[in-house]
Each structure stands twice: as structure tokens, then as C-alpha cells.
């Protein structure tokens, strides 16, 4: 089962924590645009994570739903109070089905991959993230930045001023739903139910 595709940016976000070279990071990803933020954590306490999320919410607004795993810092009384005070629904993935927070898992993989490439090539990490955010997503004809901000952001490549002006990206939800259908179709081919039999599946519609 996949999450419903939101109909606007900032409505549904997922978060994930990972460690790279003995440093802890928080990834916060928007389900509509696939745009993610990367924060270096001083520690992995509830307070540190809440502080990062408050910063993002002050810029992008409070989401309707936040999805996370079942980490103790995310199931704490402190985090529960935070969700109540800031009025968003906190949904946790099943302990044995982490793919239910697959959007955050995917963002973590991308962030780790960028970190490794930056380290090997001695690049600027912030510039690498900027370039990734401006790169069109396969099958979407738009970049995460365009879907979040309705515009491109300027980088070191030459670009016409006209292309930097705001322009709403159309049919985002429909295209993402189609991508989800195809992903589910491919996943269900090999998925098995409790008795070991292959799950039935229906081919995605065009």
C-alpha cells in the first residue's frame, strides 16, 4: 500500500535520521515535490529534531501529516506534545514494514550518495544539493524545486532570466499517481502474502 499523493506542497512530509562518517543527519522530504532538506544534528534527541523541524515549518508552513519511523525520540512524550501544539498528525511506519516511510528512505539514499560523491571529488556539498534540486525528475518533466516553489532557482550554470520567473507546474499529482501505480505494479510482481503465494496485482492504467 502506498500513501495517498497530496495535492499541494507541504501537506505531507516524511523524516528520516541517518549517520554518515560518525555524523548524524536529519532528512525532511516533501511528498508532493520530492524536495528534501538536510540538517546536521548535534545529537539525535527529540529536542534536536524538533528544533530542526520548527525551522522548516517556519519557512514552508506546518504540514497536515508528518511520517516517521518508530525511533524512540519520535515516539517520545516531547514529540507528541510538539505535534499537538503545532497541530499536525504524526504517523509512524510499522516496525516491520519500513517501506511505509519509503519517501524518507529514498531521500536518505540520495543524500548519502551525494555525500559520498562530494567527498570523493572534493566538491561543495551545498552546490551538489542545489544542482540535484534543480534537476528534472524522471517521468515528471519538472524538478523538485519547480514543484515546491513554482520556479527554478539560480545556480552556477547560465540560465535566461525568463526561466527563473514563477510558473506553476501542472498535473503534478496525476503524474506522481501514475509513477506510484507503476512502482506498485513492479513491487507486487514479487511480493508474497502470509501463506507464501504471490500477491495478485493489476496492471497500472495509463
Report pLDDT digits (tens) over 63-101.
Answer: 999 999 999 999 999 999 999 999 999 999 865 555 557
Strands 65-68 and 12-20: parallel
Percent of the chain exceeding pLDDT 70 equals 82
What's the mean pLDDT in 164-191? Answer: 71
Query: Where is pLDDT greater, at 89 or 4?
Result: 89
Three-class DSSP category at 108:
helix
* pLDDT at site 123: 85
pLDDT, one tens digit per residue, over 100-153 is 578 899 999 999 999 888 888 888 999 999 999 999 998 888 999 999 999 999
What's the mean pLDDT in 18-43? Answer: 95
Are 59 and 30 contacting, i.e. CB atoms less than 8 angstroms apart? no
Partners of residue 65 on adjacent β-strands: 12, 89
* pLDDT at site 206: 44
Q: Which segments of the chain does DSSP mark as H helices, in order?
A: 46-60, 77-85, 102-121, 125-133, 144-149, 172-190
Are 50 and 82 contacting, i.e. CB atoms less than 8 angstroms apart? yes
What Å distances lie between residue 179 and 8, 147, 165, 205, CA to CA?
A: 17, 15, 28, 11
Percent of the chain exceeding pLDDT 90 equals 61
* pLDDT at site 173: 79
Amino acid at each position: 500500500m502506498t500513501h495517498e499523493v497530496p495535492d499541494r506542497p507541504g501537506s505531507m512530509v516524511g523524516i528520516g535520521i541517518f549517520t554518515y562518517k560518525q555524523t548524524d543527519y536529519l532528512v525532511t522530504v516533501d511528498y508532493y515535490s520530492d524536495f528534501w532538506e538536510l540538517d546536521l544534528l548535534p545529537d539525535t534527541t527529540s529536542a534536536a529534531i524538533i528544533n530542526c523541524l520548527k525551522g522548516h515549518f517556519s519557512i514552508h508552513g506546518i504540514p497536515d501529516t508528518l511520517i516517521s519511523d518508530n525511533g524512540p525520540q519520535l515516539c517520545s512524550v516531547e514529540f507528541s506534545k510538539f505535534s499537538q501544539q503545532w497541530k499536525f498528525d504524526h504517523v509512524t511506519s510499522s516496525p516491520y514494514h519500513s517501506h511505509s516511510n519509503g519517501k524518507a528512505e529514498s531521500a536518505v539514499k540520495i543524500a548519502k550518495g551525494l555525500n559520498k560523491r562530494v567527498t570523493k571529488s572534493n566538491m561543495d556539498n551545498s552546490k551538489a544539493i542545489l544542482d540535484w534540486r534543480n534537476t528534472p525528475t524522471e517521468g515528471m518533466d519538472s524538478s523538485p524545486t519547480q514543484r515546491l516553489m513554482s520556479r527554478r532557482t539560480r545556480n552556477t550554470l547560465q540560465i535566461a532570466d525568463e526561466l527563473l520567473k514563477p510558473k506553476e507546474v501542472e498535473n503534478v499529482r496525476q503524474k506522481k499517481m501514475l509513477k506510484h501505480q507503476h512502482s506498485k505494479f513492479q513491487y507486487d510482481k514479487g511480493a508474497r502474502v502470509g501463506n507464501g503465494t504471490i500477491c495478485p496485482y493489476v496492471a497500472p492504467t495509463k
